[in-house]
Structure 1
Amino acid sequence: MSQPASDHPDELPVVVTRLFKGVLCREADEKLWQTLGELSSHVQDYVSVLGLELFLDDTEGYAFLRSRDDSDLPRLVQRRQLTFNVSLLLALLRARLAEFDQRNDETRLVMTEAQLREMLAVFLPETSNEARMLDQLNTTIKKVVELGFLRRLRGQENSYEVARIIKAFVDAQWLEEFDARLADYRAQLVEGAEA
């Protein structure tokens, strides 16, 4: 008779290695997700030695490693400097997901590339060079896909699912800080228009 995985954490290196590579989603690998659930306390103990902590949201179905704020160790998980446009799109997606959750029983928010561009373009300065603006919008969307906050849907060209993990990264404090930067940006736009 086999022992439960939690009694023999032989799969611990597999789970931890996968978490070091990035976000683990339940829907992407159900078996590994189940193993993570069984070994979560072992994973937490293992990564805490490195100044990391396991962030696991069983309700939404994702987990990742992040640096502990109280650690004096060098950061293993790099912080990424985001451009204004990427930050703006993340804030808009987070707000759209909050609205979606309030109004729907469904769990998947799907948006088209055109909807994403339209949502973002409202906040960017007007320009006579539409091709450049379109390229800028597409680059921003591509970067958010690379960061894992948008997922292309198979078989549906130019459609994306908003990854629910955005809720863990774009929290109230992040939005408050971004609102302050957005206010500065709006002031600069007004000054530029008046000059």
Structure 2
Amino acid sequence: MSNLQNRLKPYSKAVVKLLKNGTVYSSSSVWEELLHYQEEIQEYINVMGLELIVRKDDGLAFVTQFEDEDGNTLGLVSRRQIGFEASIVLVVLRQLLEEFDNNPTQVQATEKFISHTGIREEVELFLPEKYNRVKLLQELDTCIKRLTELGYLKIVKQEADPLYQIQRVIKDKVTIDILKDFKLKLEEYV
């Protein structure tokens, strides 16, 4: 056991949390450690082809992979396909977060919450008329579960109609440009 303790750095727990979960939130026990050792952590993970992104205002930190000119990475962090239906839900959640952040009446609130029913309603409003709504709505539970596992949603209240918090990491993973492109592709698709 002393061998482990001799090899640990003061920021080891923060690095492990970043690599395991992908995201560290300000509510985490390692948040202060991450902020204090930010430069050291960045230097440490650079050799693995990773970059530390810290969004203090949003209360989160995560890692991204450096890419070469062709978009290739070292492959440490696997890219996960989430499927077209889950992508639709993700885009809807990103749009809701953008609207929330740009709403001047929401100045006091810092987090966006939405119920399961609210997600269903927003997805229905988002889809073009010709899209197969029935199929997507049947798969909605699976999509929400998948997005929760990937850290885009956090269950706040587990009830008959669960309440979720939209995680701010979604803004870095789904940019405004991606949002616009996806809407155009969806219109072309139907």
Structure 1-normalised TM-score?
0.80
Alignment partner, residue 185 of structure 2: 181
Which sections of structure 1, spanning at least 5 residues, go unmatched?
A: 1-8, 187-195
Q: CA deviation at 1:93?
A: 1.0
Q: CA deviation at 1:45?
A: 0.5
Counterpart pick for 1:69 among 67, 70, 80: 67
Q: Which amino acid is 2:16 matched to?
A: T
Alignment partner, residue 10 of structure 2: 11
Counterpart pick for 1:107 among 105, 110, 114: 110
Alignment partner, residue 82 of structure 1: 82
Residue identity over aligned pairs, in percent, reads 30
Alignment partner, residue 20 of structure 2: 21
Alignment partner, residue 5 of structure 2: none
Alignment partner, residue 41 of structure 2: 43
Mapped partners of 1:18, 1:60: distance in 2: 18
**Is 1:58–2:56 an aligned residue pair?**
yes
SS in 2 for 1:152: strand
**Is 1:169–2:173 an aligned residue pair?**
yes
- Deviations for 1:123-176, whole angstroms, at most 9, x for unmatched residues? 24144xxxx665311111111111111111136551111111111111123223
- Kept in 1, the 8 Å contact 2:115–2:162? The answer is yes
Q: Which amino acid is 2:30 matched to?
A: L
**Is 1:125–2:132 an aligned residue pair?**
yes
Alignment partner, residue 191 of structure 1: none
**Distance change in 2, residues 1:169/1:70 (3 Å):** same
Alignment partner, residue 148 of structure 2: 145
Runs (4+) of structure 1 exceeding 4 A deviation are none
Mapped partners of 2:133, 2:172: distance in 1: 32
SS in 2 for 1:153: strand
Q: CA deviation at 1:84?
A: 1.2
Mapped partners of 1:75, 1:173: distance in 2: 24
Mapped partners of 1:143, 1:108: distance in 2: 21
- Kept in 2, the 8 Å contact 1:25–1:63? The answer is yes
Q: Which amino acid is 1:91 matched to?
A: V
Q: CA deviation at 1:70?
A: 3.1
- Kept in 2, the 8 Å contact 1:120–1:137? The answer is no
Alignment partner, residue 158 of structure 1: 162
Q: State the number of aligned residues.
A: 172
SS in 1 for 2:77: coil
Mapped partners of 2:97, 2:80: distance in 1: 22
- Kept in 2, the 8 Å contact 1:117–1:138? The answer is no
